[in-house]
Every structure is written in structure tokens, then in C-alpha cells.
């Protein structure tokens, strides 16, 4: 093996533990809630009550795009993931493609946005269902070798220590 080939081989992946993932989630959720609140408020002021729905939709789309681009970038992480020293990689340890990150985020955003819409419109039990699905997804990550949550499996990625 040529020494220059050795530099191109990704380092072995060590799956991120639940604490690191939750840490990144808290930081990213705080950032996401601030952005979502501003977008939703702006849309509600501009469009009235229908603006609440526009705001939630705009928030979901903005978060999906930001997270997908950040995870597919050379940093392989959102701000929260970088602070908590985790990255998103493909199954082989290399950089995830935009579409892999987009699939992963689509599942995460769908659950989060569904819960937000349920709070605005649905019966009061519905947000609990979506919150339960998020919790089950994280618990699922404790039971498989690569500690992949359901969104990670959908994107065919691994969340690993940096």
C-alpha cells in the first residue's frame, strides 16, 4: 500500500454514545427553536393565523436544509454536533452525501414538524405520540451495534465520535 493511499482511508468509526447525541440535540434544538420562533412569529404577524402554519412549514424546510448541508459538508456536523464532538459519516466512515444527510433529516424533521402541527391543530394526545416516536428512535439506537437511530438508518449514515 502506498503511503498516500493510507491518508485517504477513513479512520475507524466509534459510534457516538447517547449522551453526546443528546448534548448535540439540545444545542441544535435550542438554535432551531430560536429560528423557528422568529420565523413563525414573523409569518403570524404578516399573515395572521394561517401564518402559524406557514411559519412551522418554513421552519421545517429551513432546518432540513441547514442540517443537510452542514452534515454533508467537510465538517460533517451541525453546530451542536461540532460542540459535542460528533460527526455524521457514511457507513464506511467517509463523508455522507447531501442526499444521505437529507434523507436522515427528512425523517427527523417530519417527526418534529408533525409534533408541532399536532400541538397547533390536533387532539392533545397527538404530540405525545410523536414525542414517543422520537424517544423510541433514540432507544432503538441503544440496541444495535452502530447505535443508529431510525433516521440514521433511513439516511444510511452513522453518528460517530469526532
CB atoms within 10 A of CB 136: 12
pLDDT in tens, 21-32: 889 989 998 998
Q: What are phi and psi of 68, to 5 degrees?
A: -65, -45
Distances in Å between the Cα of 73 and the Cα atoms of 56, 100, 106, 159 are 26, 12, 17, 14
- Asked whether residue 111 carries a pLDDT value surpassing 90, the answer given is no
pTM score of the predicted model: 0.80
Chain Cα centroid distance, residue 52: 22
Amino acid at each position: 500500500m502506498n503511503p498516500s493511499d493510507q491518508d485517504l482511508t477513513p479512520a475507524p468509526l466509534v459510534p457516538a454514545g447517547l449522551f453526546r447525541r443528546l448534548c448535540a440535540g439540545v444545542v441544535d434544538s435550542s438554535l432551531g427553536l430560536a429560528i423557528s420562533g422568529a420565523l413563525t412569529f414573523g409569518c403570524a404577524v404578516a399573515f395572521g393565523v394561517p401564518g402559524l402554519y406557514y411559519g412551522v412549514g418554513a421552519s421545517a424546510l429551513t432546518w432540513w436544509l441547514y442540517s443537510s448541508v452542514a452534515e454533508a459538508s467537510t465538517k460533517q456536523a451541525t453546530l451542536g454536533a461540532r460542540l459535542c464532538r460528533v460527526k455524521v459519516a457514511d457507513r464506511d466512515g467517509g463523508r455522507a452525501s447531501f442526499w444521505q444527510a437529507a434523507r436522515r433529516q427528512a425523517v427527523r424533521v417530519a417527526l418534529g414538524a408533525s409534533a408541532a402541527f399536532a400541538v397547533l391543530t390536533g387532539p392533545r394526545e397527538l404530540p405525545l405520540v410523536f414525542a414517543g416516536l422520537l424517544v423510541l428512535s433514540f432507544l432503538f439506537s441503544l440496541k444495535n451495534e452502530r447505535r443508529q437511530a431510525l433516521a440514521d438508518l433511513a439516511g444510511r449514515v452513522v453518528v460517530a465520535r469526532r
